[in-house]
Amino acid sequence: MTGAAVVPPCAAAPALCYSDAMNEPSSAATTIPSLADDARRLCQALLRMDTTNPPGNERVCAEYLAESLAEVGYLPQLLEGAPNRTNLVVRHRGTGKLPPLLLTAHLDVVEADPTKWRRPPFSGDEFEGCLWGRGAIDMKNMAAMCTAIMRRLAITRTVLDRDIIFAAVADEEAGCDLGSRFLVEQHRSLVEAEYAIGEAGGFSLHLGDTTFYPVQVAEKGFCWIRARVTGEPGHGSLPRHDSAVTRLGEALAALGRTSLPVHPTSYMADFVDAVRARQPALLQPLVRLLGRPHLLARVARLVPGASIARSFSALLSNTAAATVVRAGNKTNVIPGLAEFEIDGRTLPGQTDDDLLRELRAVLGPDVELTVMKSAPPIVTEPVASPLFDLIKHEVEHREPGAVVVPYLIPGFTDAKYFTQTGARWYGFSPVKIDKGSGIKFADMFHGHDERIPVAGLAWGVEVLDAVVRGISTSR
């Protein structure tokens, strides 16, 4: 994007940059808050800022974080691809013995209907042991944790062997164009790293008697498609069975009732193996079935809860959901054109052409398909790395019996763009959710009553801090 603005640092920023000049942190920062207290304070403040995308308005959050970082001596950069769509990038310089580590979080959130919430969605209220608000787990918690960790590094004058870069970005929820994509395309050198840690993973997933911590190592691609049906136009008083609208209806129904072919991936197989190895006998038949994807229809019936079944299905095949439908604009005219849009998602190993072929088999030659926008699946290969091992160690030694598992997600994240610099992506925004809390992580994502346990946030920032320091110290 051309004409991108660079916002001057906020007024509170000192003249020197801690990361480059190692100037004194201001006196305001000399009392050192605990990581947990700092993360909680920052998270609560962020939750009180409405960054619903659209329109986003991430600037208010980015400026707030910039002030918090400037207070301890950093000179963060604020970069905009469009007015008020602000990204923040800050760097803590290391010795350079190892390449940089990138920490990322997006600052925008999806909409929230306050009438469906028990606490107002932009209240940041602390209630029932949780901080409430849209973005509490997706993912202002991560922005708060990363900021607290960066602040701690500056206050304690820690020198690591890597530069630690923190990028808080705009626009993830609407496709990343003004956020991670803008940074990678316009300011690449600021965010180049060996590893990137961001969305999605690191939360407690209770299955049977075992707590799993999925870490995203792969995400599906997206392929947004326009499907078009043409036919003879005519007068509404003379209906015809083969009109574009009727055939569009048939195509929609066919797509809605079909499951696309199953394509097992190593990511799903590894996840299922890890779950299978630790499940009590009661769950073994179900988990065994999950390992045999051709029995998917039975799995979907057996899995408790339609949303879990849908999630499993989405991880075993390409998917295609009709979302936008258009035809006609006058009640008495049969239109000659009817169209709908398909949100298609491709598994690792699959291409746009593979998905189009599968869709043609369902919709027939009559429906013309055009790709509007697409991005390929992302995979971190091989999954194993010193960073993954460290994440595993830091989680499992804090929570004996818990198991860190690599995970494929059906949606997309900023990994789509940040990995274009060559970074290896691990989705790890750690938060501990107790089994008896009644909070299901998956339901929080874009759901009503999004909230984060205060204790879970404290646990998360300690784990993440240990990971950041551990992977940035050469042995």
Site residues for Zn ion per CB under 5 A: 138-139, 199
Secondary structure (3-state) at 376: coil
Q: Which is nearer to Zn ion, 199 or 465 (CB)?
A: 199
Secondary structure (3-state) at 242: coil
Min dist CB 344 to Zn ion, Å, is 20
The residues near 261 (Cβ < 8 Å, ≥ 6 apart) are 317, 318, 358
CA-to-CA distance for 12 and 70, rounded, in angstroms?
A: 7
Min dist CB 324 to Zn ion, Å, is 22
Q: Which is nearer to Zn ion, 138 or 450 (CB)?
A: 138
| Helix axis angle, 244-257 to 352-363, nearest 10° | 110
Min dist CB 446 to Zn ion, Å, is 8
Q: Which is nearer to Zn ion, 32 or 174 (CB)?
A: 174
Min dist CB 414 to Zn ion, Å, is 8
Q: Which is nearer to Zn ion, 200 or 395 (CB)?
A: 200
Question: 199-227: b or e for each residue (b if 16 or more CB lie within 10 Å)?
Answer: bbbbbbbbebebbbbbbbbbbbbbbbbeb
| Cross-strand partners of 341 | 226, 324
| Cross-strand partners of 362 | none
Among all residues, whose Cβ is closest to Zn ion?
138
Phi and psi angles of residue 21, each rounded to the nearest 5 degrees, phi first: -110, -10
Min dist CB 199 to Zn ion, Å, is 5
Phi and psi angles of residue 103, each rounded to the nearest 5 degrees, phi first: -105, 135
| Helix axis angle, 140-155 to 35-47, nearest 10° | 140
Q: Which is nearer to Zn ion, 168 or 296 (CB)?
A: 168
Q: Which is nearer to Zn ion, 179 or 231 (CB)?
A: 179
Min dist CB 121 to Zn ion, Å, is 15
